[in-house]
Structure 1
Amino acid sequence: MLEFLTLITASISFAQQSLLPSFQSVKTPVSIEKQIAPTPSKTNSDGFAISHKSIVNETLNTIVADNIWQTLNHLTSYPNRSATEQSGLDAAKWLKTTFESMAIDYDRKDTKAFFVNTGWYKQPSLVTVIGKDLKSSAIIIGAHMDTPDGKMPGADEGSGAAIIMEAARVLLESKTQFKHPIYIVWYGAGNRDFAGSQYVVQYFEDHLIPVKAVINLDKTGYRTHAEDATMWVYNDFTDIKLTEYIRQLIKTYVHAPVDSSTCNYKCSDHAIWNEQKISVGFSSESSLKEINPYIGTSSDTMDYLNLEHMTNFCKLALAFAIELASD
């Protein structure tokens, strides 16, 4: 399928130019050809509408921001979450156990959690689903869980993983009956040529699971300026209509400013879905040039993150899931 990453230095100056942390890439068994121009995506269904304001707003009020912080606090307690290390596998197992425990706590019988292996890497991707018996097209919320090698707390690297766990909890607590299954996916080996998302996309294709829309939430905790709540959407390697829809979700439900940026290369897991012409959007903490300068270093700690910013992305994830899964 896909191959994209080259050798990247560990300098902070370069990390500012990339959504990817600094590390030496390892080729995956899946072949990917690097491309500079984005591949157009198919827009699924009859379009994307905002038509469930009451239930979305009611659900957003049940977010517990401290849960996001505590999840991230645990994720940063590992020496790293590298796909090649036992700690990376342990982090994946902890996420799976956490989701399964919440499903039990909320007496949910319609869920499933399983690993999708990531080639020879120790760390798998975690795929969970709410509404496992629904045969309609899937709504997918995803973020990567891993870090590079070395001493890597990976706070902002794990910010997306933390917010989608709280989104999962809120959805599990909700009694809303959805028309589409909602998949929450923690990609393994994102720092390794996006190996995790490659295998996840392949899993969906192999099992003939139709997909309505995907959102990728990568690096959601850093603000360039503490008072600047702007949320960013990316215009390349994404679906144009879905990206505009995400902008409208932010304006409608988060009430935060929204701006746009481009990567000009395959900078995160959304590019893998886009490669297969599946409707995908990507939202992140800042523009590419103002991305967290500590990404990919031992200084990527929670000290530099903003809980309000992460909570806003959790709101976006939930609005995306509820609106699209309800039609």
Structure 2
Amino acid sequence: MRIIIPVLCAALVAALPAFDDQATFSTEHDGFSLDLQEERLLEFANGQRSVVTELEKIRLKAAGIKFLDITDTPDLGKFAHLRLQSKPSFPSPNATEIVEPILKTLSTKGPQENLRKFTSFRTRYYRSDTGKQSQQWLLSRISEVMPITAKYASKSLQHIISVQEFPHSWGQNTIILRINGSSHDEDGVVVIGAHQDSTNMWPFLPAPDDGSGSVTILEAYRALIAADFRPVRPVEFHWYSAEEGGLLGSQAVATDYEARAVNVLAMSQFDMTAWVKRGTREEVGIITDFVDTDLTDFNKKLVTKYLDIPYVETKCGYACSDHASWRKASYPSVFTIESSFENSNKNIHSTNDRIDISDEFSFNHMLEFSKLAVAFAVELGSWKSL
């Protein structure tokens, strides 16, 4: 039996765009694999769960109502109580002599080149053909086909780097890149994440999406391996699929890690890192709701120590990006965004979310977030002396 939360229905009536009836209920769209009548199980901020159709899910997102789509991962967090019993602590940053030389090697050249291609796909929607193609391009860019790893990593470092696809039923896979550490996983894995997919409010429309988070962490990875980074703890870079569908990809990964009892020491999410609203101060938005407090304090210290701009505390609500999947499993997670939430890019989920639409899009601003990703990896992953 399908249950719709009454308050959500009222919000939908008031806020949803009026889609053409024939287009709304048709599943015959070239290049898409999407059944609008498929039932999905959603979870909302108050913990209430509701079964809705895929079409109703799309409408909820268009209305700005945040949720987790837990259809495939209803048990995520079932072992969360075990992690709460042994919560890690995070020391003050102290690897300045290692981090700062790496920061000087960061460049806007790679991000500009990568985004020109990444935003050229009509949409990176996770159930579209171009969404699959964009994921495969990103995978090839990271791995040896278009060799960021082969070009910048020493031969010996390449032996401790692995890249794999985490498969999903919808076809656009999550990408997981791992730099093995000298210690065992029991000492903790450090995760740096971003989502690779995009969507328009109506998924069949174009959605270039500026893709800033994805290339932000890619540039951080490039700088780290160029510096021959050899962590003590394993450091992983994740490019999640289907964030726009209700954090589907990151939930699947977090569920897998939880089932295998992987000790994730810390997870940092990068999503929207390039926008500086005209007339505002350039700053880093530190999300303070639905995150780990201690890791957030550590993140603030990294900004103060290593970045050239200040941070501002801000909130984004329940399930606003992939860090929420890890938080649900009680893994320490944080989220950093391009500004205060109210000053962030308002062109998202539209055809205007492009890198060339406004001088408010800044590659230099994006590099500040690459600095943060580098510092997060080195400070928490540590550095093995050869």
TM bucket by the smaller chain?
0.7 to 0.9
Give how far 1:208 is off: 2.9
Give how far 1:52 is off: 0.3
User: Take 1:9 and 1:206, find their aligned partners in 2: how far apart are those partners?
Assistant: 30
Is 2:137 aligned against 1:94? yes
Report the CA distance shift for 1:285/1:247 in structure 2 as closer, same or farther (over 3 A): same
Report the CA distance shift for 1:226/1:302 in structure 2 as closer, same or farther (over 3 A): farther
Is 2:192 aligned against 1:141? yes
Report the CA distance shift for 1:25/1:75 in structure 2 as closer, same or farther (over 3 A): farther
Is 2:120 aligned against 1:67? no
Give how far 1:59 is off: 0.7
Is 2:180 aligned against 1:131? yes
| Structure with bigger gyration radius | 2
Is 2:302 aligned against 1:252? no
Q: Which residue of 2 aligns with 1:229?
A: 282
Report the CA distance shift for 1:127/1:267 in structure 2 as closer, same or farther (over 3 A): same
The farther-off stretch of 257-266 and 271-280 is 257-266
User: Take 1:10 and 1:177, find their aligned partners in 2: how far apart are those partners?
Assistant: 41
Alignment of 1:202-221 (within 5 A): 202-221=255-274
Deviations 1:245-269 (A, max 9, x none): 1111111100311111112322111
| Structure 2 counterpart of 1:282, one-letter code | F
User: Take 1:114 and 1:191, find their aligned partners in 2: how far apart are those partners?
Assistant: 22
> Identity percentage over the alignment?
25
Is 2:376 aligned against 1:313? no
Contact 2:181–2:230 (8 Å) recurs in 1: no
Unaligned runs of 5+ in 2: 1-40, 45-56
User: Take 1:112 and 1:206, find their aligned partners in 2: how far apart are those partners?
Assistant: 21
| Structure 2 counterpart of 1:261, one-letter code | T
Q: Which residue of 2 aligns with 1:294?
A: 347
1:82 counterpart (125, 129, 135): 125
Deviations 1:123-180 (A, max 9, x none): 111111012674231111000000113211111xx10001111111112212233111
Alignment of 1:93-132 (within 5 A): 93-100=136-143, 101-105=147-151, 106=153, 107=155, 108-118=158-168, 120-131=169-180
Contact 1:7–1:25 (8 Å) recurs in 2: no
| Structure 1 counterpart of 2:118, one-letter code | L
Report the CA distance shift for 1:165/1:176 in structure 2 as closer, same or farther (over 3 A): closer
Q: Which residue of 1 aligns with 2:100?
A: 57
User: Take 1:213 and 1:26, find their aligned partners in 2: how far apart are those partners?
Assistant: 23
Report the CA distance shift for 1:48/1:251 in structure 2 as closer, same or farther (over 3 A): same
Give how far 1:69 is off: 1.5
Give how far 1:280 is off: 0.6
Deviations 1:89-144 (A, max 9, x none): 111111211111222222311111111123x3121111110126742311110000
Report the CA distance shift for 1:95/1:48 in structure 2 as closer, same or farther (over 3 A): farther
| Structure 2 counterpart of 1:145, one-letter code | Q
Q: Which residue of 2 aligns with 1:277?
A: 330
Task: Please report the TM-score for the alignment, with normalisation by the length of structure 1.
Answer: 0.87
Contact 2:181–2:233 (8 Å) recurs in 1: no
Report the CA distance shift for 1:194/1:245 in structure 2 as closer, same or farther (over 3 A): same
Give how far 1:88 is off: 1.0
| Structure 2 counterpart of 1:102, one-letter code | I
User: Take 1:25 and 1:142, find their aligned partners in 2: how far apart are those partners?
Assistant: 17
User: Take 1:4 and 1:73, find their aligned partners in 2: how far apart are those partners?
Assistant: 36
Q: Which residue of 1 aligns with 2:381?
A: 325
Helix, strand or coil at the partner of 2:150: helix
| Number of equivalences | 309
Contact 1:201–1:273 (8 Å) recurs in 2: yes
User: Take 1:111 and 1:94, find their aligned partners in 2: how far apart are those partners?
Assistant: 19
Give how far 1:8 is off: 4.0
1:3 counterpart (27, 36, 42): 42
User: Take 1:199 and 1:27, find their aligned partners in 2: how far apart are those partners?
Assistant: 9
Helix, strand or coil at the partner of 1:255: coil
Is 2:73 aligned against 1:30? yes
Q: Which residue of 2 aligns with 1:36?
A: none
Report the CA distance shift for 1:192/1:295 in structure 2 as closer, same or farther (over 3 A): same
| Structure 2 counterpart of 1:215, one-letter code | S
User: Take 1:49 and 1:270, find their aligned partners in 2: how far apart are those partners?
Assistant: 22
Contact 1:83–1:188 (8 Å) recurs in 2: yes
| Structure 2 counterpart of 1:62, one-letter code | T
Contact 1:129–1:182 (8 Å) recurs in 2: yes
Contact 1:48–1:324 (8 Å) recurs in 2: no
User: Take 1:99 and 1:226, find their aligned partners in 2: how far apart are those partners?
Assistant: 36
Task: Please report the TM-score for the alignment, with normalisation by the length of structure 2.
Answer: 0.74
